[in-house]
Amino acid sequence: MIRHPAFACDPWQVCEKTLSLDVLAQTESIFALSNGHIGLRGNLDEGEPHALPGTYLNSVYELRPLPYAEAGYGYPESGQTVVNVTNGKLIRLLVDDEPFDVRYGTLHEHERVLDMRAGTLTRRVRWCSPAGGHVRITSTRLVSFTHRAVAAIKYEVEPVDRPLRVVVQSELVANETVPRIDADPRAGALIPTPLVLEENIPAAEGAAVMVHRTRVSGLRVAAAMRHEVDGPQGTRIEADGEGDVSRVTVATRLLAGQRLRLIKYIGYGWSAVRSRPALHDQVVAALAAAKLTGWDGLCAEQREFLDEFWAGADVELEDDEEVQQAVRFGLFHLLQAGARVEQRLIPGKGLTGSGYDGHAFWDTEGFVLPVLTYTYPRAAADALAWRLSILPKARARAAQLGLEGAAFPWRTINGEECSGYWPAGTAAFHVNADIADAVIRYVDATEDVGFERDVGLPLLVATARLWCSLGFFGPDGRFRIDGVTGPDEYSAIRDNNVFTNLMARRNLLAAAAAAERYPADAERLGVAPEEIAGWRKAAGAMYIPYDERLGVHPQHEGFTQHEVWDFASTRPEQYPLMLHFPYFELYRKQVVKQADLVLAMHLCSDCFTPEQKARNFAYYEALTVRDSSLSACTQAVLAAEVGFLELAYAYLGEAALMDLRDLQNNTRDGVHMASLAGAWLALVAGFGGMRADNGVIRFAPRLPALLRRLAFRLRYRGRLLAVEVTPERTVYRLLDGPPLTMVHYDEEITLSDEATRPTPEVRPPDIEIRQPPGREPLPRVPFRGCAALPGRSPAAGGRPGPAAGPGDRKGPEAGGRAGDPETA
């Protein structure tokens, strides 16, 4: 738990006032910088001490075998693990021959600031060496949003009280030793020395280029650095390199009041097909463009890019500074994960750490893309274009399984399935409908006809074909999808999961409509009128189980007939359950790891009546233990819709503070992109009541008693819309674009400028809500002037101490030994 007293709140910054080595790993993730192509963990400039050194390039991975106790047909043969590529962050400092190391000498001041408007990480240090050399050090780091291949660092040193000899060593280092923190299965696999050197060329004027390739996957990676040095007369610059290290050394003597300034430009590139000379030239060219722009130019472009983003994405929350900071922190990291993906994946941890081996899951389409679609739609389009690029592999996987269409992987980097535990991997076919849902949402929000024809249609057709192949018409004429795993990973290989069936129905209907809109393109995909009719027939006959006795939807067929988990006898230290009980026990009981049927009520809202939503929500609240970071935000959305506003507020706190307070105890491996997105969802879809489909955006705003104001901005169909909610009234403003038809509760409004409507009072239904004993969210109290206080509870909305154990895995296989669920 991050509890050190200096981790203070600020609406636009995350600021660490003192260095706490006990949470170094967590802050390396929190202070990570990325643009979706390059990812730099927030390691100290000098490289040591560190918890997990990390420099990542999107989609650079190494292959590793997946061992099985017994072979099985269709099991993936190899896994993919994100590679820690050449580290260009390193800047070492020697003061009168003594290395700067925070563990030695006296650290008088140490501050790090992540500025979410400037897009920079700034570090300020005052340090005295064991021999009395007293210096001030300031470094500012950025990963450029406007130069995809470029990162840069400004590093300054000045003596405090007497002349000093100062040596700065700026380095490129490959094959760093990456420690295993512990045996946490959520951490990435450890692959020693994954890179093979092909070139190390130091050059004049403080420049160097290194080229490596991965040993097994055969990807070529290039890194380069170039410097600008401003120091006193007599400052010397040397460059040398050998093996996996390239170094530029700057030596000078500084008088009191003098300063040495080093600006380091770092360029990265990778390719599976390009030659070594071509990649060398690519990174050299990237550095030439960066130097032409200059440090001040890079900072100005970064600020301009973020100003544009925040103008269409910002969320304001009065009365709770902690959640205010957290929701902007989440949006900033989502932008970092997606801004320059350019037809690459958005991993579950972004490029902030090696957790989950750097894999992408359904989290991207289920949680991240709904936010990016309405705040930075270009990134959503790019992420879905990546899905199109791996469509041939998804088709091959479907064929291997004896199915038509495409079976997209449960977890992957290169498009091939690398989940070693098929009940939570292969059987979780809903990922295909999640991709289709993201396509439907993006097209509705943007009216991007070219995307719908070229990207959306092939994805919708391929996934629709899967459902018609996977499902069948039963004796009663209903269309069944048997033997699948839904979002709840404590219920595997079940018949007619409601979430899966509803999402498949949406997928089938959308594919049919798109094929009819683009008949020539559909014909090129082999779609005939008879196939379209078959999709509609399957959708119309889709079986949605319902328990008449209880008046609720079972999560899957027969779920409500299972024995309820013995929550009363489950001790707090036995959570998360998958680390303390066999999956056999979990799979045959009524216990829910994460929102499943409740998520269906959010994404397929019009398929349930208000009364059904209330009864379903109450029923599943009593069974859901939230052993996944994906759950709290969905429970927040539905709690708000049903009318349990204070409960929704508690779940909002848990989702928003997942990483800033390390509530799942694995922020060290990277931040949780889906939960960060969930904070926005809880506020905008929950308290804002936002839903959008078929060209109409709807709002049903409501606030818990302890919040006085919520304001947010979003983009929809070429408009920029601002919404401001108070307990008395809701104000809608059209900031840009033509008039918009929208809905406030049941009232249709044509918005051309501004419209004000009352915010109705929302009362909860007369129904009892309870959670499993010990798994209740803590009631949230608005937190002002905040700093994380020692011993404070997990941010009022998290779970207390022992119950918050390490339990946020993507199914039992995640990071563990394939085929061995007891140790996975």
Distance, CA of 390 to CA of 305 (rounded, Å)? 30
- Active site (catalytic) residues: 489
* Torsion sign over Cα 415, 360, 363, 585: positive
Position of tokens 């890019």? 305
Q: Is 594 annotated as a binding residue?
A: yes
Task: Tell me if residue 744 falls in helix, strand or coil.
Answer: strand
CA 277: distance to chain centroid?
34
Longest CA pairwise span in the chain (Å): 90
Q: Is 593 annotated as a binding residue?
A: yes
- State the DSSP H helix or E strand holding residue 655, giving kind and residue range, or none if neither: helix 645-656
DSSP 45-78: TT--S-SS--EEETT-EEEEE---SS--TT---E
Residues in the chain: 824
Q: Which two tokens stand for residue 741?
A: 């038809």
Cβ contact 17:27 at 8 Å: no
Cis peptide before 192 (omega within 30 of 0): no
Q: Is 357 annotated as a binding residue?
A: no
Q: Do 728 and 742 contact (CB within 8 A), yes or no?
A: no
| Rama region for 218: left / alpha / beta (φ>0; ψ in -120 to 50; rest) | left
- In the sheet that 719-725 helps form, which strands lie side by side, from edge to edge? 315-317, 710-716, 719-725, 729-736, 754-758
HEC per residue, 201-256: EEECCCEEEEEEEECCCCCEEEEEEEEEEECCCCCEEEEEEECCEEEEEEEEEECC
Cα angle 179, 184, 188; round to 5: 60
**Are the C-beta atoms of 83 and 62 separated by less than 8 Å?**
yes
**Pick from 606, 595, 15: which is nearest to 329 by CA?**
15
Distances (CA, A) of 68 to 383, 420, 439, 817: 32, 8, 36, 8
Q: For 117, phi and psi rounded to 5 degrees?
A: -95, -35
Task: Please check if 362 is assigned to a binding site.
Answer: yes
Burial of 533 by CB count in 10 Å (0-12 exposed, 13-18 middle, 19+ buried)?
Answer: exposed
Residue with tokens 């300034």: 261
Q: Report the distance separating Cα 194 and Cα 212, nearest Å.
A: 9
Residue pair 334/368 in contact (Cβ under 8 Å)? The answer is: yes
Q: Beta strand pairing status for 150-159 and 236-242?
A: unpaired
- The pair phi, psi for residue 307, each rounded to 5°, is -60, -45
Q: In terms of Cα–Cα distance, which of 323, 451, 485 is closest to 383?
A: 451
Sheet strands side by side (includes 195-203) = 7-8, 13-16, 106-115, 120-128, 134-143, 150-159, 260-271, 220-230, 207-214, 195-203
Backbone angles phi, psi at 264, to 5 degrees: -115, 120
- Contact (Cβ atoms closer than 8 angstroms) between residue 615 and residue 552: yes
H or E segment to which residue 647 belongs: helix 645-656
Q: Which of 170, 105, 109 is nearest to 138 (CA)?
A: 109
Q: Are 362 and 355 in contact (CB under 8 A)?
A: no
H helix count then E strand count, the chain: 19, 33
Classify residue 712 by burial, with Cβ atoms within 10 Å: 0-12, 13-18, 19+.
buried
Report the binding-site residues. 362-363, 593-594
Report the binding-site residues for substrate. 362-363, 593-594
